Amino acid sequence: MLRGTMSTTNTSEYARDNSLQGQSALVTGASAGIGEAIARALAASGARLVLAARRRAELERVARELPDAEVLPLDVRDAAAVQAALGSRQFDIVVANAGLARGLEPLQQGDPNDWKEMLDTNVLGVLHVLRATTPAMVARRRGDVVLIGSVAGRQAYPGGNVYCASKAAVRALYESLRYDLFDKGVRVATVDPGMVKTDFSDVRFKGDRERAAKVYAGVDHLLPQDIAEIVRFVVTRPRRVNLGELVVWSSDQASAMQVARRT
């Protein structure tokens, strides 16, 4: 076999591909937690960032620390606003991360307003963002879509009902999107984390910080930057490589239900 043929390992290609210089990236839910960490990681690799979420002040806080970032106050539930803000723009990378859980009650005690908020944000919000941004990717035959799913979309747990259903929908969308986009130059991945310490549980328990803290007590839980580094790895692979489904557990978590606590 001649050196320099396609079958030869080319390590310099990998060194080169770690840069996102010249690429534009949209991250939804970039005002906090995992989305903020993803924005920081992609920016550190040279990408120009568009930071989307509802809280302008938090987006501005993140943007101030990045070399080239634009803030885009946006509620992903609002289809018309998402289309108006994103429909005429081009992105190399779209990370659909914005999402939330509300409540942990059995379904028979659940609040339909919570259900609507979760489904509107976690399912329709993702669809709105992808509907607005993927046509330009298809037209250019280039792009990376990364969905932030959850282990909750793979294993339901008590009280997880509608949140788990919303993340199961994200997983189905991932699978379906690959059929829609694989032959159009657009890669699709889903990164599905287990327990990551963010504001997620504060939001789920509507500001009950004590209850939220108990979720992570004694656990060597994941950090937002752990997920961010994986997203960066996904989008910096050579174009022939499409990492698909990445399930990321804390080493202290065996399943949605089994967590080893050290206290």
By CB under 6 A, name the one of 24, 28, 133, 250 that touches ligand NDP: 28
Judged by beta carbon distances under 5 to 8 A according to partner kind, the member of ligand NDP, ligand 8X3, none in contact with residue 81 is none
> Which of 122, 128, 120, 124 shows the shortest CA–CA distance to 82?
128
By CB under 6 A, name the one of 38, 49, 94, 151 that touches ligand 8X3: 151
Burial of 247 per CB tally in 10 Å (0-12, 13-18, 19+): middle
Quote the CA–CA distance of 133 and 139 in Å, as a whole number.
11
Q: Compute the least distance from the CB of residue 48 to ligand 8X3, in Å.
A: 29
Token pair for 105? 């009650």
Instruction: Tell me the Ramachandran region of residue 203: left when phi exceeds 0, alpha when psi lies from -120 to 50, beta otherwise.
Output: alpha
In terms of CB distance, is 49 or 148 closer to ligand 8X3? 148
In terms of CB distance, is 91 or 216 closer to ligand 8X3? 216
Token pair for 154? 């793979």
Active site residue 163: yes
Binding of residue 208 to ligand NDP (CB under 6 A) = no
Binding of residue 256 to ligand 8X3 (CB under 6 A) = yes
The interface with ligand NDP within residues 83-112 (CB under 6 A) comprises: 97-100
Q: Which of 14, 157, 163, 216 is catalytic?
A: 163
Binding of residue 123 to ligand 8X3 (CB under 6 A) = no
**For ligand NDP, how many residues bind (rule: CB under 6 A)?**
30
Kindly state the DSSP code that residue 167 receives in the 8-state scheme. H
Integer CA distances (angstroms), 116 to 123, 175, 205, in order: 10, 24, 16
In terms of CB distance, is 17 or 117 closer to ligand NDP? 117
**For ligand 8X3, how many residues bind (rule: CB under 6 A)?**
6
Element (H, E) at 85: helix 79-86
In terms of CB distance, is 157 or 233 closer to ligand 8X3? 157
Q: What are phi and psi of 69, to 5 degrees?
A: -140, 140
The interface with ligand NDP within residues 153-192 (CB under 6 A) comprises: none
Kindly state the DSSP code that residue 93 receives in the 8-state scheme. E
Size of the chain in residues = 263
Residue 191 C-beta-side C-alpha neighbours within 13 Å: 26
By CB under 6 A, name the one of 23, 31, 134, 250 that touches ligand NDP: 31
Residues annotated as catalytic are 163
Give contact residues for ligand NDP (rule: CB under 6 A).
28-29, 31-35, 53-55, 58, 74-77, 97-100, 121, 125, 148, 150, 193, 195-196, 198-200, 203
